[in-house]
Homo-oligomer: A and B are copies of this chain.
Amino acid sequence: MERAILEGVMKLLEDGVPLAELSIERVARTAGVGKATIYRRWSGKEELFVDVLRAAEPPDPELPGTSLRDDLVVLLESLRRRGLASRSSVILHNVYAQMKHSPRIWAEYHDTVIAPRRRLTLEALRRAQENGELRPDVDLDLANDMFVGPMLVRSIMRPDGDLPEGLAEQIVDTVLEGLRPVSSTAS
């Protein structure tokens, strides 16, 4: 039932119905259910819409927990794939673009998708700092932004940004090592 409703919304979006015209009534008609059925599961259009996005997006990754590098590569690779998905899928692309015009949907998406992912990353960084895999003097919020920033700039802010295979590994390794030349006298 839930699946049918989510697919009904996807179908409407595929047909090019703009977000603003996507009423609960219209979704109910498309899915062949009553409005009450939808309201039993979702408190409003915003919550339903964010669930549609979650169903269409690649799922959140499981962190291997084997090392900081491994965890970060998995996290950044999932951002890279999401960037590629939103470029190749016209629906996802339009949905992201429209979402930004709706502060309520954006807030709901932030709270249920972005914030948990950020907490996952911050926990991985905190564990790594305790293990000695991460410099002890680095602010964890800054460390988070240093890893995800370069990937987000490419995937979201620069629509023609290069997202080649191996980019996640390249970013993680380069941020860990730093950009200063290695001194020839260092061991």
Chain A contact residues, CB within 8 Å of chain B:
100-101, 132-136, 138-139, 141-143, 145-146, 148-154, 156-157, 162, 170-171, 174-183, 185-187
Contact = CB atoms under 8 A, between A and B. Distances in A.
A142 B156 contact: no
Contacts of A145: 149-150, 153-154
Contact of A135 (B146, B152, B180): B180
A150 B144 CA distance: 9
Nearest to A147: B179
A134 B187 contact: no
Given A135-B180, A175-B175, A178-B177, A149 B142 contact: no
A145 B163 CA distance: 12
Contacts of A132: 181
A177 B180 contact: yes
A174 B174 CA distance: 12
B138 A179 contact: yes
Contacts of A176: 178-180
A134 B139 CA distance: 23
A128 B4 CA distance: 57
Contacts of A157: 152, 156-157
